[in-house]
Amino acid sequence: MSAIIVATPGAHIDLCNPANSSTSQLLMRTTAHSLNALLRAHERGRPESNTGTHSLRNNFAHIIPTRPTPTSATVASSSGHLLPSIEGFVSIVTAALNTKTAVLVTALVYVERLRKRLPVSATVAADTPYRVFLAALMLADKFWSDHAVSAENFVVAAGGAFSRREIAAMERALLKLLGFRLYVSADDIRQHARRLGFAIDDETSLPGVK
């Protein structure tokens, strides 16, 4: 028995299933969109005056490589690996890790929270969305799964573009940036689903509660 998201066209997404079903494409696209918005914030916001958000900005700088790379057609990681489009990256990583939809939605919630907390003046490198995505997925997975995916598996799933050390640093930085708030409620999930054009099958009965 698992909860089901009903997509508007009538398709069902089972939150307990791997996210790679055809209907989850929309979810993945939205995640990618959200991540790209991080990048756009950078293009728009630079170079802003400091607005008393030093701490956030500087913490964020910790996620990104030493200097911002100009946005160009192809994106390379700091180690020089060429990266696919962010959409492609999200799709490849979630397929490789057999990510559950609930985990991907939670990762998206974290990305959105990060976006709200970041100041406009945050400077962001071209490969930042990729790093943020990996970190968000790692934290979401650890929050929900009883057996977290190992860091090594994340390195492999990301095609070796980021080292284990880099991934670990991103994870720490993101956790800090999120103010250590990892809890995602059913309402959070519902809200996000609604914004994506999904409707969650509103089960009010709570199995297991007496």
Partner 1 sequence: MENYKRKREKQRVRIRTKYEIIGFISSGTYGRVYKARPREGPGIELAIKKFKPEREGETRPSTGISQSACREIGLCRELHHENVIDLCEVVMDDNAIHMVMDYAEFDLLSIMQHHTQHLRKPMAELVIKSILWQLLNGVAYLHGNLVLQRDLKPANIMITSSGVVKVGDMGLARVFRRPFQPLYSGDKVVVTVWYRSPELLLGSRHYTTAVDMWSIGCIFAEMLALRPIFKGEEVKMEKKQIPFQRGQVLKILEVLGSPSKEQWPNIELMPDYLHMKQFRHYTNSLKSWFASTGLKSESGFQLLSSLLEYDPDKRISASDAMDHPYFKEDPKPVKHPFLEHNISYPKRRLTLDELCDTKPHMSHVHHHQQQQQQQKMHAETGINGSSAANTAGQ
Please tell me whether residue 73 binds partner 1 under the rule CB under 8 A.
no
Least distance (Å) between residue 74 CB and partner 1: 26
Residue 172 as a binder of partner 1 (CB under 8 A): the answer is yes
Is position 203 an interface residue for partner 1 (rule: CB under 8 A)? yes
Facing residues of 100 across strands?
18
Backbone dihedral angles phi then psi of residue 198, each to the nearest 5 degrees: -90, 155
Interface with partner 1 by CB under 8 A: which range of 20-28, 35-43, 87-95, 157-165? 157-165
What is the rounded end-to-end Cα distance, in angstroms, of the chain?
A: 17
DSSP string, 135-188: HHHHHHHHHH-SSPPPHHHHHHHTTTSS-HHHHHHHHHHHHHHTTT-----HHH
Burial class (CB in 10 A: 0-12, 13-18, 19+), 20: middle
Based on the shown chain and the rule CB under 8 A, indicate whether residue 183 belongs to the binding site for partner 1: yes
Bridge partners (DSSP) of residue 4 are: 14
Stretch that binds partner 1, among 33-41, 77-85, 112-120, 136-144 (CB under 8 A): 136-144
208 contacts partner 1 (rule: CB under 8 A): yes
Do residues 143 and 165 lie in contact, with contact meaning Cβ atoms separated by under 8 Å? no
Does position 116 interact with partner 1 (CB under 8 A)? The reply is: no
Least Å distance, CB 85 to partner 1, is 26
Where along the sequence are the contacts to partner 1 (CB under 8 A)? 1-5, 15-16, 54-55, 58, 61-62, 66, 100, 102-103, 138-139, 142-148, 150-151, 163-165, 167-169, 171-172, 175-176, 180-183, 186, 189, 200-201, 203, 206-210
